[in-house]
Amino acid sequence: MPTYNTIMSLCAGVALLLVVVLGRLLLTGRPIVPDAWAMGFGALGLILFATGLHMTLAWPLAGQGFPFDNIIFGEPALGFGVLLLFAAFYLWKRGAALETDADRRGSVAALATPVSLLVFGLGLACLAIAAAGWKYTLFAAPPQEPISGEFADQPMLEASFMSSLYVLTGVGAILFPFVLRQRGGALAWVVGACWTIAGLAFLLFGALNYFTHIGLIVNTM
Protein backbone atom coordinates (compact mmCIF):
# COMPACT_ATOMS: atom_id res chain seq x y z
CA MET A 1 0.00 0.00 0.00
CA PRO A 2 1.60 3.30 -1.07
CA THR A 3 1.43 5.25 2.17
CA TYR A 4 3.96 7.45 3.90
CA ASN A 5 2.12 8.88 6.88
CA THR A 6 5.05 7.55 8.91
CA ILE A 7 7.39 10.35 7.83
CA MET A 8 4.46 12.79 7.70
CA SER A 9 3.50 12.12 11.32
CA LEU A 10 7.12 12.27 12.43
CA CYS A 11 7.77 15.62 10.72
CA ALA A 12 4.44 17.13 11.79
CA GLY A 13 5.19 16.26 15.40
CA VAL A 14 8.67 17.73 15.30
CA ALA A 15 7.40 20.86 13.54
CA LEU A 16 4.69 21.46 16.15
CA LEU A 17 7.30 21.19 18.90
CA LEU A 18 9.67 23.59 17.10
CA VAL A 19 6.89 26.13 16.59
CA VAL A 20 6.17 26.06 20.33
CA VAL A 21 9.85 26.50 21.21
CA LEU A 22 10.35 29.36 18.75
CA GLY A 23 7.17 31.06 19.94
CA ARG A 24 8.37 30.87 23.53
CA LEU A 25 11.75 32.35 22.60
CA LEU A 26 10.13 35.21 20.70
CA LEU A 27 7.59 35.98 23.45
CA THR A 28 10.21 35.98 26.20
CA GLY A 29 12.70 38.09 24.25
CA ARG A 30 15.41 35.44 24.28
CA PRO A 31 17.97 35.32 21.44
CA ILE A 32 17.48 33.06 18.43
CA VAL A 33 19.69 31.92 15.54
CA PRO A 34 17.49 32.65 12.50
CA ASP A 35 19.52 30.57 10.04
CA ALA A 36 19.25 27.50 12.27
CA TRP A 37 15.48 27.87 12.56
CA ALA A 38 15.22 28.46 8.81
CA MET A 39 16.99 25.17 8.12
CA GLY A 40 14.83 23.32 10.64
CA PHE A 41 11.55 24.66 9.30
CA GLY A 42 12.74 24.33 5.71
CA ALA A 43 13.65 20.65 6.02
CA LEU A 44 10.37 19.75 7.72
CA GLY A 45 8.32 21.96 5.41
CA LEU A 46 9.84 20.43 2.28
CA ILE A 47 8.98 16.89 3.39
CA LEU A 48 5.43 17.79 4.43
CA PHE A 49 4.86 19.86 1.29
CA ALA A 50 6.07 17.14 -1.08
CA THR A 51 4.24 14.24 0.55
CA GLY A 52 1.13 16.30 1.25
CA LEU A 53 0.97 17.64 -2.31
CA HIS A 54 1.31 14.18 -3.82
CA MET A 55 -1.31 12.71 -1.50
CA THR A 56 -3.67 15.64 -2.11
CA LEU A 57 -3.43 15.57 -5.91
CA ALA A 58 -2.75 11.91 -6.72
CA TRP A 59 -4.87 10.19 -4.05
CA PRO A 60 -2.53 7.16 -3.85
CA LEU A 61 -4.75 5.50 -1.23
CA ALA A 62 -7.94 5.69 -3.30
CA GLY A 63 -7.47 2.20 -4.71
CA GLN A 64 -6.41 0.66 -1.43
CA GLY A 65 -9.67 0.93 0.45
CA PHE A 66 -8.65 4.04 2.40
CA PRO A 67 -9.49 7.00 0.12
CA PHE A 68 -10.37 9.21 3.09
CA ASP A 69 -6.77 8.99 4.34
CA ASN A 70 -5.70 11.15 1.40
CA ILE A 71 -7.78 13.96 2.89
CA ILE A 72 -7.02 13.23 6.54
CA PHE A 73 -3.24 13.14 6.16
CA GLY A 74 -2.47 14.76 2.80
CA GLU A 75 -4.26 18.09 2.96
CA PRO A 76 -3.28 19.16 6.51
CA ALA A 77 0.32 18.14 5.75
CA LEU A 78 0.28 20.23 2.58
CA GLY A 79 -1.04 23.31 4.39
CA PHE A 80 1.39 22.92 7.29
CA GLY A 81 4.29 22.32 4.91
CA VAL A 82 3.60 25.52 2.97
CA LEU A 83 3.45 27.55 6.18
CA LEU A 84 6.75 26.08 7.35
CA LEU A 85 8.45 26.81 4.02
CA PHE A 86 7.36 30.45 4.06
CA ALA A 87 8.45 30.78 7.69
CA ALA A 88 11.82 29.29 6.76
CA PHE A 89 12.20 31.70 3.85
CA TYR A 90 11.44 34.70 6.04
CA LEU A 91 13.81 33.61 8.81
CA TRP A 92 16.55 33.04 6.25
CA LYS A 93 16.11 36.40 4.52
CA ARG A 94 14.90 38.71 7.29
CA GLY A 95 15.30 36.79 10.54
CA ALA A 96 18.33 38.78 11.64
CA ALA A 97 16.15 41.88 11.91
CA LEU A 98 14.23 40.26 14.75
CA GLU A 99 17.35 40.31 16.90
CA THR A 100 17.58 44.09 16.84
CA ASP A 101 13.85 44.87 16.81
CA ALA A 102 12.85 46.80 19.94
CA ASP A 103 9.23 45.63 19.56
CA ARG A 104 9.80 42.04 18.51
CA ARG A 105 6.41 40.84 19.74
CA GLY A 106 4.60 43.50 17.75
CA SER A 107 6.60 42.84 14.61
CA VAL A 108 5.98 39.10 14.74
CA ALA A 109 2.27 39.64 15.41
CA ALA A 110 1.93 42.06 12.48
CA LEU A 111 3.84 39.72 10.18
CA ALA A 112 1.86 36.58 11.08
CA THR A 113 -1.61 38.12 11.33
CA PRO A 114 -2.61 37.72 7.63
CA VAL A 115 -1.53 34.07 7.47
CA SER A 116 -3.16 33.36 10.84
CA LEU A 117 -6.50 33.13 9.03
CA LEU A 118 -5.17 30.10 7.14
CA VAL A 119 -3.97 28.62 10.43
CA PHE A 120 -7.46 29.22 11.85
CA GLY A 121 -9.01 27.48 8.83
CA LEU A 122 -6.69 24.50 9.19
CA GLY A 123 -7.72 24.33 12.83
CA LEU A 124 -11.37 24.07 11.82
CA ALA A 125 -10.39 21.35 9.33
CA CYS A 126 -8.61 19.41 12.09
CA LEU A 127 -11.76 19.52 14.23
CA ALA A 128 -13.81 18.28 11.28
CA ILE A 129 -11.36 15.42 10.73
CA ALA A 130 -11.57 14.53 14.42
CA ALA A 131 -15.37 14.50 14.26
CA ALA A 132 -15.26 12.22 11.20
CA GLY A 133 -12.83 9.92 13.01
CA TRP A 134 -15.24 9.46 15.89
CA LYS A 135 -18.37 9.34 13.70
CA TYR A 136 -17.06 6.70 11.29
CA THR A 137 -14.50 5.01 13.63
CA LEU A 138 -11.60 5.72 11.28
CA PHE A 139 -7.90 5.08 12.01
CA ALA A 140 -8.49 1.48 13.20
CA ALA A 141 -5.53 -0.79 12.43
CA PRO A 142 -6.05 -4.17 10.71
CA PRO A 143 -5.43 -7.28 12.84
CA GLN A 144 -2.28 -8.08 10.82
CA GLU A 145 -0.56 -4.93 12.08
CA PRO A 146 1.73 -5.45 15.10
CA ILE A 147 0.82 -3.70 18.37
CA SER A 148 -2.01 -1.56 16.97
CA GLY A 149 -3.64 -4.67 15.49
CA GLU A 150 -4.08 -6.09 19.00
CA PHE A 151 -6.92 -3.58 19.38
CA ALA A 152 -8.51 -4.26 15.99
CA ASP A 153 -11.70 -5.45 17.71
CA GLN A 154 -11.93 -2.10 19.49
CA PRO A 155 -11.89 0.37 16.59
CA MET A 156 -13.11 3.25 18.73
CA LEU A 157 -9.91 3.11 20.80
CA GLU A 158 -7.50 4.16 18.05
CA ALA A 159 -10.15 6.40 16.51
CA SER A 160 -10.39 8.27 19.82
CA PHE A 161 -6.61 8.49 20.15
CA MET A 162 -6.03 9.95 16.69
CA SER A 163 -9.10 12.18 16.81
CA SER A 164 -7.91 13.59 20.13
CA LEU A 165 -4.60 14.56 18.52
CA TYR A 166 -6.46 16.39 15.77
CA VAL A 167 -8.59 18.15 18.39
CA LEU A 168 -5.49 19.36 20.25
CA THR A 169 -3.87 20.54 17.03
CA GLY A 170 -7.08 22.18 15.88
CA VAL A 171 -7.75 23.99 19.15
CA GLY A 172 -4.22 25.42 19.11
CA ALA A 173 -4.62 26.56 15.51
CA ILE A 174 -8.01 28.19 16.17
CA LEU A 175 -6.61 30.12 19.13
CA PHE A 176 -3.47 31.19 17.25
CA PRO A 177 -4.90 34.43 15.75
CA PHE A 178 -6.08 35.51 19.20
CA VAL A 179 -2.62 34.86 20.66
CA LEU A 180 -1.17 37.20 18.05
CA ARG A 181 -3.73 39.84 18.94
CA GLN A 182 -2.89 39.61 22.65
CA ARG A 183 0.84 39.15 21.91
CA GLY A 184 1.06 36.32 24.41
CA GLY A 185 -0.91 35.91 27.61
CA ALA A 186 -2.78 32.89 28.94
CA LEU A 187 -3.95 31.84 25.48
CA ALA A 188 -0.32 31.44 24.38
CA TRP A 189 0.15 28.95 27.22
CA VAL A 190 -2.94 27.01 26.11
CA VAL A 191 -1.76 26.89 22.49
CA GLY A 192 1.71 25.84 23.60
CA ALA A 193 0.28 23.05 25.77
CA CYS A 194 -1.99 21.78 22.98
CA TRP A 195 0.75 21.73 20.36
CA THR A 196 3.36 20.28 22.72
CA ILE A 197 1.16 17.32 23.65
CA ALA A 198 0.04 16.78 20.06
CA GLY A 199 3.58 17.21 18.74
CA LEU A 200 5.04 14.64 21.11
CA ALA A 201 2.24 12.20 20.33
CA PHE A 202 2.57 12.60 16.54
CA LEU A 203 6.35 12.23 16.82
CA LEU A 204 6.22 9.05 18.93
CA PHE A 205 3.31 7.58 16.97
CA GLY A 206 5.08 8.21 13.67
CA ALA A 207 8.25 6.58 14.98
CA LEU A 208 6.25 3.57 16.24
CA ASN A 209 4.59 3.22 12.85
CA TYR A 210 7.94 2.50 11.26
CA PHE A 211 7.76 -0.81 13.10
CA THR A 212 4.03 -1.45 12.85
CA HIS A 213 3.74 -0.58 9.16
CA ILE A 214 6.75 -2.70 8.24
CA GLY A 215 5.23 -5.52 10.27
CA LEU A 216 1.90 -5.08 8.46
CA ILE A 217 3.61 -5.34 5.08
CA VAL A 218 5.56 -8.45 6.13
CA ASN A 219 2.46 -10.09 7.61
CA THR A 220 0.41 -9.51 4.45
CA MET A 221 3.04 -10.39 1.84
Model confidence pLDDT, tens digit, residues 91-100: 999 888 887 7
Q: Bigger pLDDT: 203 or 150?
A: 203
DSSP conformational letter for 64? G
Indicate if the alpha-carbon torsion angle 63, 69, 74, 79 is positive or negative.
positive
Predicted model pTM = 0.94
| pLDDT classification of 1: cutoffs 50, 70, 90 | low
Report how far residue 152's alpha carbon sits from residue 15's, in angstroms, rounded to the nearest whole number.
30
Least Cα distance to 76 among 111, 44, 49 occurs for: 49
Report how far residue 158's alpha carbon sits from residue 137's, in angstroms, rounded to the nearest whole number.
8
Mean pLDDT of 138-164: 86
Mean pLDDT of 60-75: 88
Q: What is the mean pLDDT of the chain?
A: 92
Task: Give me the torsion for CA of 155, 141, 160, 204, rounded to 10°.
Answer: 160
Q: Bigger pLDDT: 144 or 64?
A: 144
| pLDDT classification of 145: cutoffs 50, 70, 90 | confident
